[in-house]
Amino acid sequence: MFQKVFKARWSLVMALSAALFLATPAMADDFADAVQGLNAEGYAEKGQAIEALAAVGDDRSVAVLGALMEGNLFVRAADGRVLIARESGSVYLMTDPVTGEAMDEAAEDAIEKIRINNKLRGQLKGVLGAMTLMSSDAAKRLSAADEVFKAGDPAILPILERALAREDIADVKTRLIRARAAIVLEHGTDAPARIEAAKVLSEFTDPDVVALLGKLAFMDGQGQPVEQDAAVFNAVKDAHQSVEAKLAQWAMLGNVFQGVSLGSVLLLAAVGLAITFGVMGVINMAHGEMVMLGAYTTFMVQEVFRTHFPGAFDWSLAVAVPAAFLVTGAVGMVIERGVIRHLYGRPLETLLATWGVSLILQQVVRTIFGPTNQEVGNPSWMSGAIETSTGLVLTYNRIWIIVFSLMVLGMLALVARKTLFGLQMRAVTQNRAMASSMGIRSGWVDALTFALGSGIAGMAGVALSQIDNVSPNLGQAYIIDSFMVVVFGGVGNLWGTLVGAFSLGILNKFLEPYAGAVLGKILVLVGIILFIQKRPRGLFALKGRAVES
Partner 1 sequence: MKTTFKTVVGAGVIAASVLGATAAQAAETIKVGVLHSLSGTMAISETTLKDTVLMMIDEQNKKGGLLGKKLEAVVVDPASNWPLFAEKTRELISKENVNVIFGCWTSVSRKSVLPVVEELNGMLFYPVQYEGEESSRNVFYTGAAPNQQAIPAVDYLLSKDGGEAKRIVLLGTDYVYPRTTNKILRSYLNAKGIADADIMENYTPFGHSDWQTIVSDVKKFASTGKKTAVVSTINGDANVPFYKELANQGIKAEDIPVVAFSVGEEELAGLDTGPLVGHLAAWNYFMSVKAPENDAFIKTWKAFIKDNKRVTNDPMEATYIGFKMWVQAVEQAGTTDVDAVRQAMYGQKVPNLTGGMAVMNTNHHLSKPVLIGEIQDNGQFDIVWNTDGEVVGDAWSDFLPESAKLTADWTYPWVCGNCEKPKYAAK
Number of Cβ within 10 Å of residue 5's Cβ equals: 12
Q: Shortest gap between Cβ of 441 and partner 1 (angstroms)?
A: 39
Instruction: Tell me if 535 contacts partner 1 by CB under 8 A.
Output: no
What single-letter DSSP state applies at residue 374?
B
Instruction: Tell me if 461 contacts partner 1 by CB under 8 A.
Output: no
Instruction: Tell me if 370 contacts partner 1 by CB under 8 A.
Output: yes
Of the two residues 243 and 333, which places its CB atom closer to partner 1 in the complex?
243
Fill in the per-residue mask, 179 to 218: x = in contact with partner 1 (CB under 8 A), - = not in contact: ----------------------------xx-xxxxxxx-x
Instruction: Tell me if 129 contacts partner 1 by CB under 8 A.
Output: no
Element holding 102 (H helix, E strand): strand 102-107
* Cα separation, 519 vs 169, whole angstroms: 49
Instruction: Tell me if 255 contacts partner 1 by CB under 8 A.
Output: yes
The CA–CA distances, whole Å, from 226 to 72, 163, 221, 223, 529 equal 42, 31, 9, 9, 52
Of the two residues 242 and 373, which places its CB atom closer to partner 1 in the complex?
373
Alpha helices, DSSP H, located in 152-286: 157-166, 170-187, 191-202, 207-217, 230-273
Instruction: Tell me if 110 contacts partner 1 by CB under 8 A.
Output: no
b/e sequence 326-362, b meaning 16+ C-beta within 10 Å: ebbbebbbebbbebbeebeeeeeebeebbeebbeebb
* Cα separation, 234 vs 183, whole angstroms: 18
How big is the chain by its Cα radius of gyration, in Å? 31
Instruction: Tell me if 262 contacts partner 1 by CB under 8 A.
Output: yes
* Position among 162, 173, 521, 537 found at the interface with partner 1 (CB under 8 A): 521
Instruction: Tell me if 387 contacts partner 1 by CB under 8 A.
Output: yes
Instruction: Tell me if 342 contacts partner 1 by CB under 8 A.
Output: no
Of the two residues 23 and 526, which places its CB atom closer to partner 1 in the complex?
526
How buried is 167 (Cβ within 10 angstroms: 0-12 exposed, 13-18 middle, 19+ buried)?
buried
* Cα separation, 498 vs 505, whole angstroms: 11
Q: Shortest gap between Cβ of 118 and partner 1 (angstroms)?
A: 5
Of the two residues 438 and 522, which places its CB atom closer to partner 1 in the complex?
522
* Position among 99, 249, 372, 380 found at the interface with partner 1 (CB under 8 A): 372
Of the two residues 113 and 418, which places its CB atom closer to partner 1 in the complex?
113
Query: Which backbone phi and psi does 372 adopt, to 5 degrees?
Result: -80, 165
Query: Which backbone phi and psi does 547 adopt, to 5 degrees?
Result: -70, -40
* Position among 7, 86, 115, 306 found at the interface with partner 1 (CB under 8 A): 115
Q: Shortest gap between Cβ of 535 and partner 1 (angstroms)?
A: 27
On whether the CB atoms of residues 93 and 86 are closer than 8 A, the answer is: yes
* Cα separation, 103 vs 84, whole angstroms: 10
Of the candidate spans 12-20, 328-336, 470-478, 491-499, the one that interacts with partner 1 by CB under 8 A turns out to be 470-478
* Cα separation, 413 vs 405, whole angstroms: 12
Instruction: Tell me if 261 contacts partner 1 by CB under 8 A.
Output: yes
* Position among 518, 530, 543, 548 found at the interface with partner 1 (CB under 8 A): 518
Determine the 3-state secondary structure of 90 from DSSP.
coil
Determine the 3-state secondary structure of 93 from DSSP.
strand
Tally of residues, the chain: 549
Of the two residues 393 and 541, which places its CB atom closer to partner 1 in the complex?
393
* Position among 24, 363, 419, 437 found at the interface with partner 1 (CB under 8 A): 363
Of the two residues 370 and 410, which places its CB atom closer to partner 1 in the complex?
370
Element holding 82 (H helix, E strand): strand 82-88
Q: Shortest gap between Cβ of 257 and partner 1 (angstroms)?
A: 8
Determine the 3-state secondary structure of 234 from DSSP.
helix
Query: Which backbone phi and psi does 100 adopt, to 5 degrees?
Result: 75, 10
* Position among 192, 410, 513, 536 found at the interface with partner 1 (CB under 8 A): 513
Of the two residues 491 and 504, which places its CB atom closer to partner 1 in the complex?
504
Q: Pick from 53, 62, 58: which is nearest to 24 by CA?
A: 58
* Position among 319, 398, 455, 490 found at the interface with partner 1 (CB under 8 A): 398
On whether the CB atoms of residues 480 and 528 are closer than 8 A, the answer is: no
Instruction: Tell me if 51 contacts partner 1 by CB under 8 A.
Output: no
Of the two residues 22 and 252, which places its CB atom closer to partner 1 in the complex?
252
* Cα separation, 176 vs 157, whole angstroms: 10
Instruction: Tell me if 287 contacts partner 1 by CB under 8 A.
Output: no
Total residues contacting partner 1 by CB under 8 A comes to 67
Instruction: Tell me if 224 contacts partner 1 by CB under 8 A.
Output: no
Of the two residues 61 and 395, which places its CB atom closer to partner 1 in the complex?
395
* Position among 121, 306, 342, 417 found at the interface with partner 1 (CB under 8 A): 121
Q: Shortest gap between Cβ of 518 and partner 1 (angstroms)?
A: 5
* Position among 358, 395, 424, 429 found at the interface with partner 1 (CB under 8 A): 395
Q: Pick from 59, 89, 88, 94: which is nearest to 73 by CA?
A: 94
Instruction: Tell me if 375 contacts partner 1 by CB under 8 A.
Output: yes
Interface with partner 1 by CB under 8 A: which residues?
Answer: 43-44, 71, 113, 115, 117-119, 121-122, 125, 150, 207-208, 210-216, 218, 251, 254-255, 258, 261-262, 265, 362-363, 366, 370-375, 377-378, 383-385, 387, 391, 393, 395-398, 467-473, 476-477, 508-509, 512-513, 516-518, 521
